């Protein structure tokens, strides 16, 4: 299995965009070495703006640059964009619907050693509840690259979520990328697994395990949390016995609740959520934390069996 950083997909796309569109600017808040936007800075020093440890100013200033016709990609860690600068994201960017792209790294429990202060398990919920905000959580390096390009092409605020570590490369999700259009990776009739972000690989592994046990499993990769592909969700609700959601995020506020809401209102069916329970994280190695916090294929299998049996 090949492993590659999702944030590298973001950094590579930014460099490509730098050549394609002179309106594209990149901002960071003293974590350019960590988000990898320093790679854009190396190629386009005059279109890169390090704001220092000032996330709030960065996001409102990005709004200002958007008002002047630029396409700023404001970059920091997920926890600082949404929690430290949540009001700036809401009032300066989402409300006036400005063309700012918020590219965040170090999301989820797999941040690792820095621990709870840096592990953003709530950011999807915060971004998703803002009107006008598009929220994209790519599954691997290549999808991160494609998603960044797609975000640059659309007009309006976009929240792009990446991780810190290297994660499995998943060829099944490569090729095309359309914001708001889920990818059905496997067809099946017993149960549907809906994944977002880096848990897509765990979803596929879980499906294989279940298939070996004789169950027919559908796998849907929901790279866009908002606007949610309600068509794909309802199709799963109608055609399979129930849905397991899987995300590297709290079970509150994220993919699981988004899916459950759509299903409950339109076509009730069992929904089981795999995600971080309502708890803060802790320090550890990123891969071991994914185990400890129950974000692995066996956890998905367990939830799926509750629906099937």
Partner 1 sequence: MLSKEKHELLRVKAKDIRREIVTMVHRANSGHVGGSLGAADIISALYYHVMRHDPKNPEWEDRDRFILSKGHCTPVIYAALADCGYFPKEDLLEFRRPGSHLQGHPYQPKTPGIDASTGTLGIGISTGVGMALGAKLKKQDHYYYILCGDGEIQEGQVWEAAAFANKYKLDNVIGFVDRNYLQTDGYSEKVMPMDPLAPKWESFGWKVFEIDGHSFEEIIDTIEKAKKEKQPVMIIANTTKGKGVSFMEGEAEWHGKPPGKEDFEKAMLELE
Ligand X SMILES: Cc1ncc(C[n+]2csc(CCOP(=O)(O)OP(=O)(O)O)c2C)c(N)n1
Interacting residues toward partner 1 by CB under 8 A: 28, 30-34, 38, 50-54, 56-57, 79-80, 83-84, 112-118, 282-284, 288-289, 292
Interface with ligand X includes 31 (CB under 6 A)?
yes
Q: Which does 124 bind (CB under 5 to 8 A by kind): partner 1, ligand X, none?
A: none
Total residues interacting with ligand X, rule: CB under 6 A: 5
Distance of CA 77 to the CA centre of its chain: 13
- Of 24 and 58, the one with the shorter C-beta distance to ligand X is 58
Interface with ligand X includes 183 (CB under 6 A)?
no
Interface with ligand X includes 53 (CB under 6 A)?
yes
Q: What is the smallest separation between the CB atom of 30 and partner 1, expressed in angstroms?
A: 5
Interface with ligand X includes 73 (CB under 6 A)?
no
Out of 80, 141, 162, 167, the only residue in the binding site for ligand X (CB under 6 A) is 80
Active-site residue flag, 187: no
Distance from the first to the final alpha carbon of the chain: 32
Out of 4, 16, 23, 30, the only residue in the binding site for ligand X (CB under 6 A) is 30
Q: Which does 205 bind (CB under 5 to 8 A by kind): partner 1, ligand X, none?
A: none
Catalytic residue among 22, 38, 43, 55: 55
Q: Which does 208 bind (CB under 5 to 8 A by kind): partner 1, ligand X, none?
A: none
- Of 104 and 207, the one with the shorter C-beta distance to partner 1 is 104
Positions marked active-site? 55
**Footprint on this chain of ligand X (rule: CB under 6 A):** 30-31, 53, 80, 84
């Amino acid at each position: 299995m090949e492993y590659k950083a999702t944030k590298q997909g973001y950094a590579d796309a930014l460099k490509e965009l730098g050549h394609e569109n002179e309106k594209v600017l990149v901002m960071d808040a003293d974590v350019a070495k960590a988000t990898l936007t320093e790679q854009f800075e190396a190629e386009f020093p005059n279109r890169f703006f390090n704001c220092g440890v000032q996330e709030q100013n960065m996001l409102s200033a990005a709004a200002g640059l958007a008002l002047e016709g630029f396409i700023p990609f404001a970059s920091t860690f997920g926890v600082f964009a949404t929690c430290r600068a949540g009001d700036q994201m809401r009032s300066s960017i989402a409300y006036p619907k400005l063309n700012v792209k918020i590219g965040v790294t170090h999301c989820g429990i797999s941040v690792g050693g820095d621990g709870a202060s840096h592990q953003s398990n709530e950011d999807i919920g915060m971004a998703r509840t803002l009107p006008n905000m598009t929220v994209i959580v790519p599954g691997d390096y290549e999808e991160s690259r494609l998603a960044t390009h797609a975000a640059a092409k659309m007009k309006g605020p976009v929240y792009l979520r990446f991780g810190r570590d290297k994660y499995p490369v998943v060829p099944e999700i490569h090729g095309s990328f359309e914001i708001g259009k889920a990818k059905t990776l496997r067809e099946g009739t017993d149960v549907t697994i809906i994944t977002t972000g880096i848990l897509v690989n765990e979803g596929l592994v879980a499906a294989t395990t279940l298939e070996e046990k004789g169950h027919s499993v559908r796998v849907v990769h929901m790279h866009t949390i908002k606007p949610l592909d309600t068509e794909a969700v309802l199709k799963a609700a109608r055609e399979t016995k129930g849905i397991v959601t899987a995300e590297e995020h709290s079970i509150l506020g994220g993919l699981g609740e988004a899916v459950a809401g759509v299903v409950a209102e339109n076509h009730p069916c069992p929904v089981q959520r795999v995600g971080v329970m309502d708890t803060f994280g802790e320090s550890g190695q990123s891969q071991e934390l994914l185990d400890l916090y129950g974000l692995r294929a066996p956890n998905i299998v367990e939830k799926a069996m509750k629906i099937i049996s």
